[in-house]
């Protein structure tokens, strides 16, 4: 899962660079409004790419998974109001 998310992230960031460079290297010579529109689209892509790359998959470990330290896990479970798994 991680590799797929990483590939999607790099494709999105590559598209962002292509849009930005293409807008100011080529498209601005023909249409300034279209170049600005391309830059606005390129501006939106990085936050979306970061969300895609950092989303949690169903099989990913997460911050609340057991750490392996029984005392620490018991303490956190007590704070979270969870019943202790045996």
Structure tokens at 79: 């704070």
Residue numbers of the domain that contains 44: 2-58
Residue 19 within any structural domain of the chain: yes
Q: What residues in the chain have per-residue pLDDT under 50? A: none
Mean pLDDT of the chain: 85
Instruction: Output the pTM of the full model.
Output: 0.65
Residue 68 within any structural domain of the chain: no
The pLDDT of residue 64? 66
* Torsion region of 6: left, alpha or beta (phi above 0 gives left; psi -120 to 50 gives alpha): alpha
Residue 70 within any structural domain of the chain: no
The pLDDT of residue 24? 94
Number of domains comprising the chain: 1
Task: Check if the beta carbon of residue 58 is closer than 8 Å to that of residue 64.
Answer: no
Residue 74 within any structural domain of the chain: no
Long-range Cβ contacts of 26-32 (<8 Å, 24+ apart): none
The pLDDT of residue 44? 96
**Cα(7)–Cα(4) distance, integer angstroms:** 5
The pLDDT of residue 15? 96
């Amino acid at each position: 899962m991680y590799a797929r998310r990483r590939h999607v992230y790099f494709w999105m960031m590559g598209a962002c660079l292509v849009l930005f460079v293409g807008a100011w290297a080529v498209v601005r010579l023909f249409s300034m409004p279209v170049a600005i529109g391309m830059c606005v689209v390129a501006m939106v892509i990085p936050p979306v790419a970061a969300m895609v790359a950092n989303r949690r998959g169903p099989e990913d470990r997460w911050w609340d998974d057991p750490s392996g330290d029984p005392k620490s896990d018991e303490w956190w479970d007590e704070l979270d109001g969870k019943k202790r798994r045996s």
